[in-house]
């Protein structure tokens, strides 16, 4: 059962936050729908963290994962996943935040200059994904000046930003997969990510992941 999260609703003042809605905006690269942030998992080149996240819904359906990962944009990957939603892994609601946290770390590991610098450019301001419909990952406009929602994606980004500040040399070089049963991609267990090795350098650090419950 998913715990009651009503106490975790947040109200944000737009003028004091970094708010992103469209991917072509200044901070649009913070969105999972932004292209240009490829990653690599189990030797597979994946175009976006959104594609990776959606594929993780279906460890028991490798053909569905393959279809999702083949899509040229994050949005089409998300749309392709919808036909399989009824077959999402049964614990998806309980692990999705953990999976998203891991996906964002992988995105940072492979895109330290672009994504990492964008994160740091938000300074210490609250990061908010504006959404007209989704108040879980984002926050809905309440008035012209305020947004309300759980803003889980924004909070994960703020969490990652603080970790990045503590590692100024970009020490997100080894990313272990979360401790999730049957965490598979195209029939294979997901392996640790060694971004520096994949880029021709040796790994120098490990990004550790707190449990999903830490956010709520």
Domains located in the chain, CATH noted:
8-214 (1.10.357.40)
Residues 6+ apart with CB under 8 A from 97: 152, 156, 212, 215, 216
Q: Enter the tokens of residue 21.
A: 């809605």
Percentage helix, strand, coil for the chain under 3-state DSSP, each rounded to 5: 40, 15, 45
Residues 6+ apart with CB under 8 A from 113: none
pLDDT tens-digit map of 21-43? 999 999 999 999 999 999 999 99
Q: Identify the pLDDT of residue 152.
A: 98
**Is 186 in contact with 42 (CB distance < 8 Å)?**
yes
Residue (of 89, 102, 52) closest to 215 by Cα position = 102
Can you give the pTM of this predicted structure? 0.88
CA distance 38 to 29: 12
Identify the three-state secondary structure at position 193.
strand
pLDDT at 167 over 90: no
pLDDT tens-digit map of 38-97? 999 999 999 999 999 999 999 999 999 999 999 999 999 999 999 999 999 999 999 999
Q: Identify the pLDDT of residue 202.
A: 35
CA distance 46 to 75: 14
At residue 29, φ and ψ (nearest 5 deg) are -65, -15
> Containing H/E element for 41?
strand 39-41
> Containing H/E element for 206?
strand 206-207
Q: Identify the pLDDT of residue 170.
A: 57
Q: How far is CA 192 from the centre of its chain?
A: 17
Determine whether 85 is exposed, middle or buried from the number of CB atoms within 10 Å of its CB (0-12, 13-18, 19+): exposed
Residue (of 119, 124, 132, 213) closest to 170 by Cα position = 119
Q: How confident is the model at residue 172 (pLDDT cuts 50, 70, 90)?
A: confident
CA distance 203 to 51: 25
């Amino acid at each position: 059962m998913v715990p009651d999260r009503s106490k975790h609703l947040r109200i944000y003042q737009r003028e004091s936050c970094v708010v992103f809605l469209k991917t072509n905006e200044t901070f649009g690269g913070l969105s999972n729908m932004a292209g240009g942030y490829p990653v690599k998992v189990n030797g597979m080149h994946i175009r976006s963290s959104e594609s990776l996240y959606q594929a993780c819904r279906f460890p028991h359906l490798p053909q569905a994962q393959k279809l999702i990962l083949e899509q040229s944009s994050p949005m089409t990957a998300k749309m392709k996943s919808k036909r399989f939603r009824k077959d999402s892994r049964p614990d998806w609601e309980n692990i999705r935040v953990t999976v998203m946290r891991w996906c964002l770390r992988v995105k940072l590991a492979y895109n330290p200059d672009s994504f990492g610098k964008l994160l740091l450019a938000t300074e210490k301001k609250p990061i908010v994904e504006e959404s007209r419909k989704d108040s879980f990952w984002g926050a809905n406009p309440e008035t012209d000046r305020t947004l309300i929602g759980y803003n889980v994606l924004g909070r994960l980004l703020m969490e990652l930003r603080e970790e990045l500040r503590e590692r100024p040399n970009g020490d997100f070089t080894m990313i272990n997969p979360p401790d999730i049963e049957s965490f598979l991609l195209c029939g294979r267990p997901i392996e640790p990510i060694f971004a520096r090795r994949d880029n021709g350098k040796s790994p120098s650090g490990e990004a550790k992941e707190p449990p999903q419950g830490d956010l709520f």
